[in-house]
Structure 1
Amino acid sequence: MSDTAILINTAVAVAAIVVLIVRFKFNPVIALVLGSCYLGLAAGLGVEKTVEAITSGFGDIMAEIGLLVAFGVLIGAVLRDLRAIERLVDALLRVVGPKRIPHAMALTITTFLQSIYLDVLLVISGPLAKAVAPKLGRYGTARMATALAIGLECGIVFTVPGVGALALAALLHVPLGTYLLYGLIVVIPTVTISISLMTFALTRGWWKPEVDELPQPAAETALAAAVRSGGPDALAAPKTRQAPLLLLFTPLLVSLVLIATGALADVVEWKNPVASFLSSPVVALMLGLIGTCFVGRKYLGQSAVEESLGRGLRDSGPILLLNGVGGCLAAVISQAGLGDILGEYFSANTWAPLLLVWFMAAALHVAVGSVTISAITSAGLLAPLAPVLGLNPVLIALAAGAGSLFMVHLTSNTFWLLQSLLGQTTRGTLKTCSAGVSVASVVAMGPILALSLVL
Structure 2
Amino acid sequence: MEHLLPLFIVALGVIVLLLLITKLKLNTFISLIITAFLVALALGMPLDQIVESIEGGMGGTLGSIALIFGFGAILGRLVADAGGAQRIAVTLIDKFGEKKIQWAVVIASFIIGIALFFEVGLVLLIPIIFQIAKELKVSPLYLGIPMATALSVTHGFLPPHPGPTVIAQQYEANIGMVLIYGIIISIPAVIIAGPLFTKIIRKIIPASFEKEGNLDSLGKVKTFDIEDTPGFGISVLTSLFPVLLMAISTIVDLIQDLGHVSDHVLFRIIHLIGQPTTALLISVLIAVYSMGIKRNIPMKQVMQSAEESIKAIGMMLLIIGGGGVLKQVLIDGGVGDAVATLFEGSHMSPLLLAWIIAAILRIALGSATVAALTTAGLVIPLMQGTGVDPALMVLATGSGSLIASHVNDAGFWMFKEFFGLNLKETFATWTFLETIISIVGLVGVMVINLFV
Scaled by the length of structure 2, what TM-score is found? Answer: 0.89
Cα distance, 1:429 vs structure 2: 2.8
1: CA distance, partners of 2:100 / 2:249:
33
The corresponding residue for 1:191 is: 190
Q: Could you tell which deviates more after superposition, 1-10 or 301-310?
A: 1-10
The residue type paired with residue 227 of structure 1 is: L
Choose from 298, 308, 311 the match for 2:294: 298
Kept after mapping to 2: 8 A contact 1:110/1:159: no
Kept after mapping to 2: 8 A contact 1:103/1:195: no
Alignment of 1:27-176 (within 5 A): 27-133=27-133, 140-176=139-175
The residue type paired with residue 119 of structure 1 is: E
1: CA distance, partners of 2:169 / 2:323:
10
Name the CA shift for 1:383/1:33 in 2 (closer, same or farther; >3 Å).
farther
The residue type paired with residue 188 of structure 2 is: P
Q: Could you tell which deviates more after superposition, 103-112 or 30-39?
A: 103-112
The residue type paired with residue 34 of structure 2 is: L
Alignment of 1:27-426 (within 5 A): 27-133=27-133, 140-203=139-202, 205-209=203-207, 213-214=210-211, 216=212, 219=213, 222-223=214-215, 225-228=216-219, 232=220, 234-236=221-223, 241-267=228-254, 268-269=256-257, 271=263, 272-295=267-290, 296-299=292-295, 300-346=297-343, 350-387=347-384, 389-426=386-423
The residue type paired with residue 208 of structure 1 is: P
Cα distance, 1:402 vs structure 2: 1.1
Kept after mapping to 1: 8 A contact 2:238/2:283: yes
Deviations 1:418-448 (A, max 9, x none): 2333344444333321212221111221111
Deviations 1:283-309 (A, max 9, x none): 111000111011222323212212101
Q: Could you tell which deviates more after superposition, 100-109 or 397-406?
A: 100-109
The corresponding residue for 2:17 is: 17
1: CA distance, partners of 2:100 / 2:347:
38
**Secondary structure, counterpart of 1:419 in structure 2:** helix
Cα distance, 1:238 vs structure 2: 9.9
The residue type paired with residue 66 of structure 1 is: A
2: CA distance, partners of 1:263 / 1:348:
35
2: CA distance, partners of 1:10 / 1:206:
39
Cα distance, 1:65 vs structure 2: 0.9
**Secondary structure, counterpart of 2:26 in structure 1:** coil
Deviations 1:22-79 (A, max 9, x none): 2222212112222222222222321222221211121112221110000000101111
Structure 2 unpaired stretches of 5+: none
The corresponding residue for 2:5 is: 5
Cα distance, 1:134 vs structure 2: 5.1
Deviations 1:212-232 (A, max 9, x none): 543x5xx4xx32x2222xxx3
**Secondary structure, counterpart of 2:97 in structure 1:** helix
**Secondary structure, counterpart of 1:99 in structure 2:** coil
Name the CA shift for 1:108/1:166 in 2 (closer, same or farther; >3 Å).
farther
**Secondary structure, counterpart of 1:177 in structure 2:** helix
Name the CA shift for 1:389/1:18 in 2 (closer, same or farther; >3 Å).
farther
Cα distance, 1:111 vs structure 2: 4.7
What is the aligned length? 442
2: CA distance, partners of 1:101 / 1:239:
18
2: CA distance, partners of 1:104 / 1:167:
30
State the identity %.
26
Cα distance, 1:108 vs structure 2: 3.7
2: CA distance, partners of 1:112 / 1:282:
19
**Secondary structure, counterpart of 1:411 in structure 2:** coil
Name the CA shift for 1:265/1:336 in 2 (closer, same or farther; >3 Å).
farther
Cα distance, 1:5 vs structure 2: 2.5
2: CA distance, partners of 1:89 / 1:108:
5
The residue type paired with residue 246 of structure 2 is: I
Cα distance, 1:265 vs structure 2: 2.9
In angstroms, what is the RMSD of aligned CA positions? 2.6
Kept after mapping to 1: 8 A contact 2:111/2:240: no
Kept after mapping to 2: 8 A contact 1:164/1:401: yes
The corresponding residue for 2:450 is: 453
Cα distance, 1:147 vs structure 2: 0.9
The residue type paired with residue 343 of structure 1 is: A
Kept after mapping to 2: 8 A contact 1:109/1:155: no
The residue type paired with residue 241 of structure 2 is: V
Cα distance, 1:411 vs structure 2: 3.2
Structure 1 unpaired stretches of 5+: none
Name the CA shift for 1:21/1:156 in 2 (closer, same or farther; >3 Å).
same
Deviations 1:64-107 (A, max 9, x none): 11100000001011111111221111111122223333234234
2: CA distance, partners of 1:326 / 1:383:
15
**Secondary structure, counterpart of 1:339 in structure 2:** helix
2: CA distance, partners of 1:111 / 1:15:
37
Q: Could you tell which deviates more after superposition, 141-150 or 376-385?
A: 376-385
Scaled by the length of structure 1, what TM-score is found? Answer: 0.89
